[in-house]
Amino acid sequence: MRLLLLSLAAAVSFSLHAADTPPLQAGAATSNITPELGGDIVGGFLPFPATHIHDELNARCLVLDDGKTKLALVVCDLLGLHRSVSVKARELIEKETGIPAANVLISGTHTHSAVSALGGPVRFYSSDLELTAYQQFVARRIADGVRRALNLLRPAEIAFGRVDVPEHVHIRRWFLKEGTMPPNPFGKIDKVKMNPGAGSPSLLEPAGEPDPTVSFIAVREPGGRLISVYSAYSLHYVGGVGGGHISADYYGYFCEALKRLQVNGNDDPPFVGIMANGTSGDANNNNFRNPQPRKKQYEQMRYVAEDVAAKVNEAVAKVKWESSAPLTSRYRELPVAWRKIPEDLIAWAKETEKNTPRIQGKADLPLAYAGRVQRLAEASPETKFPVQIFRIGDICIGSSPCETFAETGVEFKKRSPFEKSFMVELAHGYYGYMPTPRHFELGGYETWPGTNNLEPQASVKMMDALLEMAKEVK
C-alpha cells in the first residue's frame, strides 16, 4: 500500500510539473512578396526600374508557442521596411491571430535588388507614413505568412547554436595613408573611407572588427525532421546581379541551400530556412587587404550562401535539443532624436542645389546629400525608434531598426544577461546607419548626415534599453 501511495504521489507530481511546463510547438512558412515589374529598385543613389525577376522575394516566418505565449519571427527579402509597414503588419497579425503586436519581430535582410518598401524621398525622416500599394501588399503577405506558420504548429524541440564563418565578412571602413583621403561630398576630409580600393597601396588598417559568428535557433519535430532554422549573420548584401534584376541576394540563396541539405526538406510541410541580417553596417563581403577575384554574375552570392549553409548545417547536427522554452517579449519606442543639422550645412545644401547642373541618369553625391540634409532638417518631431527583446528559453534576441555596426552586436552579446544572445538589425523600420560615438569622430560615409539620420548617442541609448529589457525578461 505504501509503495502504491508513493507511486500515485509521484504520478501526480509529474502531472503537475508537466502542466507547468507545456511542450513547445513550432510552425514555419514562407509568403511571397515579389513585386510587379516596373517598380523602382533601391540600394544605390539613383533608383531604376525592375525589368526581370531572377529569384522570388519572400517573407519567411517562424511561430513558437510555449502553451502560454506565442512569438512570431519574420524576415523579409527587402532592403528595409518603413516602420509603418511593420505597424500595419503587426496590427493585422494581432487582429487575425491574437498574437500581440509586441510579440512579432519583423526585419529586412538588406538585399540591394528589391523594390522599395521604404516609401518616398522623406522615408527616413518620418516615422508615420501612408502606405504605398506595394507596402500594403507586403504587410498583408507578412500577416498571411504568420497565419500559415500558425496553421502548421506542431510539437517541437528547440536548440541554439553558433558557428564562426570569418572568410566572408570584412570591415569596409579603412584608415588611409596621410594625404590619400579624398574629400567627402561636403568638401571635408574624413579620417576613414568606406569601400576603399581593394588592394590599394593607400590602405593602413580597418577601423573596426567584423563579427564572424552565425547565431541560429533550430526547431525540429521531437527526435525527427527539422521544421526551421532561424539564423543571423553580420554580412552586408553580396550583390553581383543583372541589370534591373529582382533578387533576394545571398540571404535567399542561403535559405534554399540549407533546405537542399535536409534529406526530407521538401516533405509536407516543407523545411523553412531563414537568414536575418545581424549587425553589418560597417562590414561586407570584400577582402580589401587581400582581394580575391570576384565571381561571375550571381556566382559570388551562391558561393557565400552555400558555404555558410553547409557550415550551419554541420553545426545543427551538434546542438543540444530541449523540449520546452519559456517565451517572453519586450517592445519599446525610444525617445531617440533625429540628427540636428547646423545652419551652415543648410546654407551649403541650398547653395549646392542652386548651382549644381542636373545630368539625366548620373548621380551627383553633393547634390544628393544637399537634398537629404534639407529633408532631415525638417524631420518629424519624434522618431518612435523601435527596439525589441525576445526571450526564447535561455536564448535572447535584441533588435535594431538601423544598419548597425558590428561592434554594437558584439557588445550586446557580451553584456546581455543571457549567454546565448545575438542581434538582428533593420527590424520594425529603417532609420539609416547607426555608428557608435567613436565612429562619429572618424567620419566616413556611414556618418554623413543623410546617411546617418540619428543623434550620435543613438547606439548608446539603444544598448541601454536592450540590456534593461533583457534583464526584465531574465
**392 and 370 in a common domain:** no
Q: How far apart are the first and last CA of the chain?
A: 44
pLDDT the model gives residue 292:
85
**119 and 92 in a common domain:** yes
CA nearest to 245, candidates 286, 297, 296:
297
Q: How many structural domains compose the chain?
A: 2
Please check the confidence at residue 120 and state whether its pLDDT lies above 80: no
Q: Which three cell numbers stand for residue 74?
A: 519574420
3-state secondary structure of 334: strand
Q: Are 268 and 225 in contact (CB under 8 A)?
A: no
Mean pLDDT of 141-156: 98
Question: Picking from 46-50, 83-87, 163-167, 200-204, which range would have the lowest pLDDT averaged per residue?
Answer: 46-50
Exposure b/e, 91-111, CB count within 10 A at least 16 = b = ebbbeebebbbebbbbbbbbb
Q: Which of 351, 377, 403 is the last residue of a domain?
A: 377
pLDDT the model gives residue 416:
98
Please check the confidence at residue 242 and state whether its pLDDT lies above 80: yes
**364 and 222 in a common domain:** no
Quote the mean pLDDT of the chain.
93
The model's confidence at residue 22, banded by pLDDT at 50, 70 and 90, is: low
pLDDT the model gives residue 167:
97
Mean pLDDT of 325-352: 96
Please check the confidence at residue 45 and state whether its pLDDT lies above 80: no
Please check the confidence at residue 137 and state whether its pLDDT lies above 60: yes
In this structure, is residue 8 part of a structural domain? Answer: no
Q: β-strands 48-49, 283-284: how paired? A: unpaired
3-state secondary structure of 84: helix
- Please compute, for residue 24, the number of CA atoms within 13 A of its CA located in the half-sphere on the CB side: 24
Percent of the chain with pLDDT strictly greater than 90: 87
**117 and 42 in a common domain:** yes
The model's confidence at residue 18, banded by pLDDT at 50, 70 and 90, is: very low
What amino acid occupies position 395? I
**91 and 53 in a common domain:** yes
Percent of the chain with pLDDT strictly greater than 70: 94
Q: Are 292 and 284 in contact (CB under 8 A)?
A: no
Cβ partners under 8 Å of residue 429, min gap 6: 80, 81, 82, 83, 86, 127, 385, 386, 401
In this structure, is residue 183 part of a structural domain? Answer: no
**297 and 151 in a common domain:** yes
Mean pLDDT of 136-141: 98
Owner of C-alpha cell 556611414: 446
Please check the confidence at residue 449 and state whether its pLDDT lies above 60: yes
Q: Which of 377, 398, 428 is the last residue of a domain?
A: 377
pLDDT the model gives residue 124:
67
Please check the confidence at residue 370 and state whether its pLDDT lies above 90: yes
In this structure, is residue 417 part of a structural domain? Answer: yes
Question: Picking from 58-67, 113-122, 196-205, 281-290, which range would have the lowest pLDDT averaged per residue?
Answer: 113-122
The model's confidence at residue 10, banded by pLDDT at 50, 70 and 90, is: very low
Question: Picking from 124-138, 172-186, 278-292, 436-450, which range would have the lowest pLDDT averaged per residue?
Answer: 124-138
Which comes out higher in pLDDT, residue 294 or 121?
294
In this structure, is residue 11 part of a structural domain? Answer: no
What amino acid occupies position 350? K
What pTM was estimated for this model as a whole? 0.94
Please check the confidence at residue 364 and state whether its pLDDT lies above 90: no
Q: Which of 352, 377, 402 is the last residue of a domain?
A: 377
Mean pLDDT of 42-66: 94
Host domain of residue 141: 22-172+203-336+383-473
User: CB neighbours (10 Å) of residue 67?
Assistant: 15
DSSP assignment of 257-305, as one string? HHHHTSTTTTSSSPPEEEEEE-S-TTEES--SSS--PPPSTTHHHHHHH
Question: Picking from 7-21, 313-327, 359-373, which range would have the lowest pLDDT averaged per residue?
Answer: 7-21
pLDDT the model gives residue 377:
94
C-alpha separations of 456 from 187, 268, 439, 443 in Å: 21, 49, 9, 12
CA pair distance 227, 448, nearest whole angstrom? 43
In this structure, is residue 196 part of a structural domain? Answer: no
Owner of C-alpha cell 553584456: 415
In this structure, is residue 185 part of a structural domain? Answer: no
**136 and 114 in a common domain:** yes
CA pair distance 28, 38, nearest whole angstrom? 31
pLDDT the model gives residue 122:
55
Please check the confidence at residue 369 and state whether its pLDDT lies above 60: yes
Please check the confidence at residue 374 and state whether its pLDDT lies above 90: yes
**356 and 290 in a common domain:** no
C-alpha separations of 414 from 159, 232, 320 in Å: 20, 16, 22
Residues paired with 175 in a beta bridge: 205
**424 and 368 in a common domain:** no
In this structure, is residue 114 part of a structural domain? Answer: yes
**250 and 369 in a common domain:** no
C-alpha separations of 311 from 25, 61, 214, 279 in Å: 26, 22, 9, 20
Q: Are 342 and 255 in contact (CB under 8 A)?
A: no
In this structure, is residue 329 part of a structural domain? Answer: yes
**266 and 369 in a common domain:** no
pLDDT the model gives residue 46:
81
Residue 213 has phi, psi (to 5 degrees) of -90, 130
Q: What is the pLDDT of residues 305-319, one digit of tens each?
A: 999 999 999 999 999
Q: What is the pLDDT of residues 103-112, one digit of tens each?
A: 999 999 999 9
**149 and 63 in a common domain:** yes
pLDDT the model gives residue 451:
94
